[in-house]
Amino acid sequence: MALETLTVCSGPGWSISVVLDDTTREVKRVAWTNTSGLAITATLHRAAASRTVAVSGSGQVNVPAGYVLDEVADVGLAVLVRY
Amino acid sequence: MASAANVIKEASATDASSYTTTAQAGASGKGYVITVINSKTTTPETVTLVHSGGLNPVEILSVVGTGSNRRMTVFRALKTSGVSAGTFTADAGGVTQTGWIVIVDEVTDPDTSGTDGSAMVVQSASNDGSSTTASVTLASFGDPTNNLAWMSVMLNSNVAITEESGYTELADLGHGGPTRRGFSEYKVGEDTQPTATFTSSPWNAIGLELKAAAGGTPFTITPSGAITPAGSLVRATDKRLGGATTPAGSIVKAVASFLAGGSSPTGSLRKDVSKPIAGSISPTGALDLLRFFALAVGGSISPGGTLRRDSSKLLAGALTPAGSVRKDVSKTFAGAITPAGPLALLRFFAIALAGAIAPSGTLRRDVGKLLTGATAPGGSLRREIAKQLAGTAAPAGSLAKSIAKRFSGSVAPVGALATQVSAVVQLGRLWAVFARRVVAASVARRLRARGEARRARSEAADTRLL
């Protein structure tokens, strides 16, 4: 198994990446950096479940099994930025 | 009221490291939201965007599809002046992309403050999924009535996208090889979950809350001619007591009576003269003895006859006699006195001074003049009354300072007013501010004139009392 880091969402001064299994496309971690000073939240969601983190500074969080970004399952990352 | 319209929508499946729009757009005071979708077999590069007409596009948010073969980036741009229609060029930094979609949406009457439309964008949100409905979740709107909800969608296919009910579709276009689709929509007012529907395909969506200009649609009246104030600015300052005045104690009445009319003495002046002797008296020579002798009669006195009454009446009072006549009564004896018995010797001695009196110094005359006659005032007595507050005034609250600046001189615009919509926003606002100041100055002058008249009346009343 190899892990792949994919920056899925970004703006000036911030970015959010997912670390996933390059074979199963299952998300293992969500990582971020945010030096913009903006209030940002990220929510990894799938059917009947979601995981939300505040995107501040630099950090990462492990993700429970079941979030597969394979363009088939309806899994996604919702991001909200307040200016 | 703010609104949005699409001004450029172009798609190309031609491999290129950049894409320049064929169409042109751009104007001062308008807001622009530009969606750029670039594709590549591996993760597409981040994109920069430039405008040939003076706009400076700034990236808001960029997302990469889960297949890592497509990217959607949304930019904002806004300048209040110096913008002309021009082309937009998206650039992948020299790395060839397999497709481009550029959508330029123009916002009318946005909040133009900030830099390059920074105040126009209140919040942004992104989302992705593989269902048949794309959606993003926004927070509550800052202005749920006037702000705009806007959303763009990128599909990993080239199928039509349908806007949400109540929304206006701005763009819906795509290209094949690779198949991609771009879409944008908007509505006026709050919607915290914009959506769009299509046949199943992986999707990415970016949503925005766009801030409308305060006060809705500005209509600007721009006067022609010139405004030429004469003279210099005059600062008018007045301080007023805030709070209330609460006198303590009771009212005191002060009454004074004055004689009116004039004094008209009658008769002539009389001169009283006296000459006292100054100096001293220095008798000389010796004293002479001067003797007086009196003989006292002894025995008794037996008056004969009857008593006689002498009467006199004296008026009391002055100019206007008051009271009643008083009777003075005395009785004198009539008849003869017949002493009985021997007389007793009664002696008086007087010693006369001999010699001379020689006053020294000179005589000094003391002169005084007295008015005789009468004083006969004319007219009647007049009573004047003043009431004064006793106690102390204890105002409550603090002093309030009011300051106004007024233009002196006059404003004499020439020509007729011209109505213009949105093209001269800044100049119109300046004129509105100036007009409000002129009206405020006029009101202040009227109030001050009333205050001076009131103060003059008060001073006149005080003068009468004094």
Q: Tally Cβ neighbours within 10 Å of residue B317.
A: 8
Distance from CA of A82 to the nearest CA of B (A): 4
Q: Which residues contact B433 (CB under 8 A, 6 or more apart)?
A: none
Per-residue tokens: B293: 């002798």
Q: Give the three-class secondary structure for B282.
A: coil
The whole-number average pLDDT for the span B40-59 is 96
Cα B337–chain centre separation: 108
Whether residue A9 and residue B126 make contact (CB cut-off 8 A), yes or no, is yes
Specify which residues B169 forms β-bridges with: B185
- Cα(B131)–Cα(B456) distance, integer angstroms: 83
Given a contact cutoff of 8 angstroms between Cβ atoms, the answer to whether B83 and B55 are in contact is yes
For every residue of B295-360, DSSP letters joined together read -EE-S-----S-EEEEEEEE--SSSS--S--EEEEEEEE-S-----SPEEP-EEE---B-S-----
CB contact, 8 Å: B212 with chain A?
no
The DSSP letter of residue B86 is: B
The total number of residues written for chain B in this structure: 466
Distance from CA of A14 to the nearest CA of B (A): 10
- Cα(B250)–Cα(B241) distance, integer angstroms: 23
Counting one residue from chain A and one from chain B, the pairs whose CB atoms sit within 8 A come to 77
Handedness of CA B319, B324, B330, B331 (dihedral sign): positive
* Minimum-distance CB partner of A10 among B62, B66, B128: B62
Whether residue A9 and residue B61 make contact (CB cut-off 8 A), yes or no, is yes
| Mean pLDDT, rounded, of chain B | 76
- Cα(B411)–Cα(B223) distance, integer angstroms: 12
Least confident of B59-63, B75-79, B234-238, B427-431: B427-431
Per-residue tokens: B313: 């009446």
pLDDT at B259 over 70: no
* Minimum-distance CB partner of B64 among A8, A76, A80: A8
User: Which residue is it, tokens 């001269």?
Assistant: B424
Give the β-pairing of B417-421 and B219-223. Answer: antiparallel
Alpha helices in B379-424 (DSSP H): none
For every residue of A19-55, DSSP letters joined together read EEETTT-BEEEEEEEE-S--EEEEEEEETTEEEEEE-
- Strands in B88-91's sheet, in edge-to-edge order, are B18-20, B88-91, B48-51
Q: Give the three-class secondary structure for B462.
A: helix
Handedness of CA B428, B429, B433, B436 (dihedral sign): positive
Q: Chain B: residue nearest A38 by CA?
A: B123
Q: Tally Cβ neighbours within 10 Å of residue B6.
A: 19
CB contact, 8 Å: B132 with chain A?
no
pLDDT at B236 over 60: no
Whether residue B64 and residue A7 make contact (CB cut-off 8 A), yes or no, is yes
Whether residue B127 and residue A11 make contact (CB cut-off 8 A), yes or no, is no
Number of H helices, E strands in chain B: 1, 30
Give the residue from B25, B26, B31, B28 showing the smallest Cα distance to B10: B25
Q: Which is more confident, B74 or B388?
A: B74
Confidence label for A27 from pLDDT (cuts 50, 70 and 90)? very high
Confidence label for B89 from pLDDT (cuts 50, 70 and 90)? very high
- Cα(B2)–Cα(B426) distance, integer angstroms: 17
Q: How much is the pLDDT for B201?
A: 79
Q: Chain A: residue nearest B192 by CA?
A: A80
Least confident of A16-20, A33-37, B176-180, B285-289: B285-289
Q: Chain A: residue nearest B72 by CA?
A: A9
CA B361, B364, B367: angle at the middle one, nearest 5?
A: 180
Q: How much is the pLDDT for B373?
A: 66
Q: ipTM of the assembly? A: 0.94
pLDDT digits (tens, 9 = 90+) for B303-333: 666 666 655 555 455 555 556 655 555 555 5
Q: Chain B: residue nearest A26 by CA?
A: B66
